[in-house]
Structure 1
């Protein structure tokens, strides 16, 4: 079961993969662990600077299946044809949200439909 209170102590750190210092990809695996799901590669050193996030996200997608929003699904967010941000779907109070981690805001939980409106394209993967 997902406990949103755990994530109140998270601070955003570029390249952060170890709780409580996480970046957008770091939160994906932390949430997946909490949900009892298999972890994805940690992509140590990969950030959204340059082409690293886009390259590694697209490689990972080759081994995943595209899906509708569901708890534990990874979220790939695009600017044009480039993956520029990632998140993970969670369930709180019976509703689906996207958990994300950003500089200055740390962890936020947005309803899926509101999250989707922020990007030119959003895909869900499991």
Structure 2
């Protein structure tokens, strides 16, 4: 159960990112949240899969032993980049906008959200 907490934190933060974006454009926050969330949620899930695969590939150790979901590097960075790139690609192919300014804002917010809490946790420890 403890290992799922970082994943849940990431999901909540991506939902908050999507809600903030919808609100900033004067859109109904809850009505279209699923449409806004699914590309980034899919990218997030893919990032987690990649992060676990990277951890399991190091030194032949099993993923369960090597994977640290709370590490800013490489876990947080992998999850951030995958969420961003996957989200933008899926938004593009589904006809949702990917304006350059949106990519810049998403890069900053997702980086702050997905890597930031991990870095803060390490700093506190």
Pick the structure with more strand per residue. Answer: 1
Pick the structure with more helix per residue. Answer: 2
TM-score above 0.5: no
State which structure, 1 or 2, has the greater radius of gyration over its C-alpha atoms.
Answer: 2
TM superposition score normalised by structure 1: 0.33
TM superposition score normalised by structure 2: 0.33
